[in-house]
Amino acid sequence: MRVRRKKRTKRLIVLLSLLLLGIVGFRNILPNLGDVFQYHHVASGEYGWNLILVNRDNYIPDDYTVELTELSNGQKVDSRIYPSLQEMFDAARAEGLGLFVADGYRTAETQQQILEGKIEAYKNEGYSSEEAEKKAKEWVAVPGTSEHQLGLAVDINADKSQSTSEEVYEWLSKNAYKYGFIQRYPENKTDITHTIYEPWHYRYVGNDAAFEIFSQNICLEEYIETLE
């Protein structure tokens, strides 16, 4: 009887030891589970391709595809917005403005490179890794959350030999809606868009939506809410 009891005791000790090791091991990997299982809300296209809402809370669908048209300077945009973009540029140039698309479609890889470059720049300024990443994300979207990956957004700069940035930005702010484009990140909507003011960043939403957004002085997030 004593031999059996000793064996049972040893087995119980072994089982308890294994259980304890398992708990400790699980606790060690627990903080990293969030990195393994990342669940993101996927942007919906229920209101049409031109109104897909992509931001830090709405990721681009994994199966999203886009047909691109290359501009004269090598930048690319969604082929569906090219005619409207060309019409807008023709109108601006007819009024003596010089402007060009400085940045159009980006791949996720390019977006990641831009983010990493911004982080490194802040590190070189003396910020810690954590601080540098936080500040960089105020300027650069995390891959999967950038409108540039949709092909529907363009950064428009001035040709300084013909116009100032202020002249181009002012013209766009007053006229872009006529061609289906909106200033995506207005100065008075940063608390909603969670993105700094970008007077150069324009997004195609279509003529009807652009007119409503412009006339009501709202941003895309607010406009989508009116549709829900």
Q: Is the pTM of this model over 0.75?
A: yes
Per-residue pLDDT of the chain (228 residues; tens, 9 = 90+): 544 555 555 565 555 555 554 544 433 444 444 443 456 899 989 999 999 999 999 999 999 999 999 999 999 999 999 999 999 999 999 999 999 999 999 999 999 999 999 999 999 999 999 999 999 988 899 999 999 999 999 999 999 999 999 999 999 999 999 999 999 999 999 999 999 999 999 999 999 999 999 999 999 999 999 998
- Sheet containing strand 99-103, edge to edge, reads 99-103, 153-158, 198-204, 181-185
E strand spans, 160-221: 181-185, 198-204
Catalytic residue positions, numbered: 198
d(CA 136, CA 122): 7
pLDDT for the residue 32: 44
Q: Which CATH number fits domain 41-106+146-227: 3.30.1380.10, 3.20.20.80, 1.10.10.10, 3.40.50.11740?
A: 3.30.1380.10
Instruction: Return the closest-CA partner of residue 97 out of 169, 181, 168.
Output: 168
Kind and range of the H or E element at 157? strand 153-158
d(CA 212, CA 60): 24
